[in-house]
């Protein structure tokens, strides 16, 4: 079992005053070797914390006693969220995007997790097929809520077939138990054309109102397919199929409003874009609970652009890693490169995916800003129907810049970067020409427009 290693020490914190340093290993905390950062936070919560710490390169540890206010953080970050071992996924879903990745990418990108702890911390979706009685006891005793659960189909036969796992058909029994215990859960349904759409989708969503009626929300998202998929049955939605999904989701969503006084079921923005249908108004999405699942994302971006500031919605989406002392940003929540470096150019071209490009161009046209242009980055790295800005890679961006001319200034959204790298491993510094990074919020684009036009919208 791995032990947590200190990756950051806050200046002036109790940890800094006790002499802890980056690279130190936390062997035990109050005599316990923690399994994960959740247990770590519980152990360091008191006013007196006893550590056994092993310095980098040392073979034996030293005792460190820290006195602090009850509940005060130590002021540390550790290098991992899970210290024993991430619980990997033993499903073999036809639609799994991990199986559709090209070869030769960073090893960490091929990790399939199905760990309820990462669901709690980061908002990762879990199928519960590796969930156990001990896990359920811990979740309920410690109130690890909310969790994020992949439902896909409530019919046990369909779900088992989708997951290609004999436990897949019965693992939603854990969802019953968690909901009955008062654990908040957000659900997700990935819709595969001809597999779990139509009547299967309608029954699944009706079960989310009845059997799983305590679900906080359900996001319905389309299947993503790359050119590297080997599953012949997996394909993109046609506009007609996307419209049919929207119809089912809208009808059952209306029923949720009548039953609970609030809408709890939504289709992702991508379905509307594929179907060439107008996106609903912002208030349709209630408190944007599933915005990080691509649901209400565009309307929230648009509203931030118009207001010039963040919306301030008190939504609970995305996990709680920021509130767990020491938890490092991880996965798609890893630290990004954001903010324009140096002085912004007087003219620039925004590079984005084909879904966002016309929407952003519409905002710019409405603002009267001619100094910014928008260009689509064709995603040849993944291919298929992958058209979102978050999956743009360095080599496709470089190809686009070379086509448009490296003498111009280009802006890319920070959502395409994780730990300063694109998914293909390239950095911004590897790109030709002048490239700057802009935060992926409407307020950031509005600020740039104001700066370039000298006019506040």
CA distances from 241 to 161, 191, 238, 296 (A): 21, 10, 5, 20
Q: Which H or E run contains 394?
A: helix 394-404
Q: Which H or E run contains 442?
A: helix 442-453
- Summarised one tens digit per residue, pLDDT across range 392-440 is 999 999 999 999 999 999 999 999 998 788 999 999 999 999 999 999 9
Task: Give the domains, in start order, of the chain with CATH numbers.
Answer: 6-78 (2.30.42.10), 98-323 (3.30.750.200), 335-453 (3.40.50)
Q: What percent of the chain has pLDDT over 70?
A: 93
Asked if residues 424 and 394 have their Cβ atoms less than 8 Å apart, the reply is yes
How many whole angstroms separate alpha carbon 426 and alpha carbon 422? 5
Question: pLDDT at position 153, please?
Answer: 97
**Comparing C-alpha atoms, which of 162, 181, 456, 446 is closest to residue 304?**
446
Indicate the pTM of the whole model: 0.91
Check whether the bond before 71 is cis (ω within 30° of 0). Answer: no
- Summarised one tens digit per residue, pLDDT across range 68-118 is 999 899 999 998 999 998 899 999 998 898 889 898 888 878 888 999 999
More confident residue, 253 or 2: 253
């Amino acid at each position: 079992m791995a032990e947590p290693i200190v990756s950051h020490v806050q200046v002036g914190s109790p940890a800094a005053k006790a002499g802890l340093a980056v690279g130190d290993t936390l062997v035990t905390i109050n005599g316990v070797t923690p399994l994960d950062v959740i247990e770590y936070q519980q152990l360091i919560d008191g006013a007196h914390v006893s550590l056994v710490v092993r310095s980098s390169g040392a073979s034996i540890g030293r005792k460190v006693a820290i006195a602090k206010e009850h509940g005060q953080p130590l002021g540390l970050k550790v290098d991992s969220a899970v210290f024993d071992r991430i619980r990997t996924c033993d499903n073999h879903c036809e639609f799994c995007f991990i199986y559709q990745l090209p070869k030769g990418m960073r090893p960490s990108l091929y990790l399939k997790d199905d760990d309820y702890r990462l669901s709690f911390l980061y908002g990762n979706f879990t199928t519960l097929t590796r969930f156990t009685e001990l896990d359920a006891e811990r979740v309920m005793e410690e109130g690890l809520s909310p969790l994020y659960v992949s439902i896909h189909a409530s019919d046990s036969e369909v779900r088992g077939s989708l997951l290609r796992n004999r436990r897949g058909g019965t693992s939603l029994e854990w969802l019953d138990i968690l909901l009955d215990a008062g654990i908040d859960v957000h659900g997700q349904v990935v819709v595969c054309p001809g597999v779990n759409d139509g009547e299967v989708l309608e029954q699944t969503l009706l079960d989310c109102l009845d059997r799983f009626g305590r679900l906080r929300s359900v996001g319905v998202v389309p299947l993503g397919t790359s050119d590297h998929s080997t599953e012949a049955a997996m394909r993109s939605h046609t506009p007609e199929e996307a419209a049919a999904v929207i119809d089912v989701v809208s009808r059952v969503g209306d029923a949720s409003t009548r039953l609970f006084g609030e809408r709890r079921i939504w289709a992702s923005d991508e379905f509307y874009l594929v179907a060439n249908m107008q996106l609903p108004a912002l208030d349709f999405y209630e408190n944007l609970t599933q915005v990080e699942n691509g649901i209400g994302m565009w309307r929230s971006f648009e509203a931030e652009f118009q207001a010039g500031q963040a919306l301030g919605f008190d939504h609970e989406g995305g996990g709680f890693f920021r509130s767990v002392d020491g938890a490092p940003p991880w996965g798609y929540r890893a630290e990004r490169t954001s903010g324009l470096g140096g002085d912004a150019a007087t003219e620039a071209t925004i590079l984005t995916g084909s879904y966002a490009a016309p929407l952003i161009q519409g905002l710019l046209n409405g603002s009267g800003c001619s100094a910014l242009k928008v260009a689509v980055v064709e995603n040849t790295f993944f291919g298929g129907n992958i058209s979102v800005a978050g999956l743009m890679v360095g080599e496709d961006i470089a190809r686009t810049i070379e086509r448009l001319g490296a003498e111009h200034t280009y802006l890319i959204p920070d959502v395409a970067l994780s730990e300063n790298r694109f998914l293909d491993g390239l950095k911004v510094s590897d790109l030709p020409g002048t490239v700057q990074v802009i935060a992926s919020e409407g307020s950031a684009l509005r600020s740039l427009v104001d700066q370039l036009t000298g006019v506040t919208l």
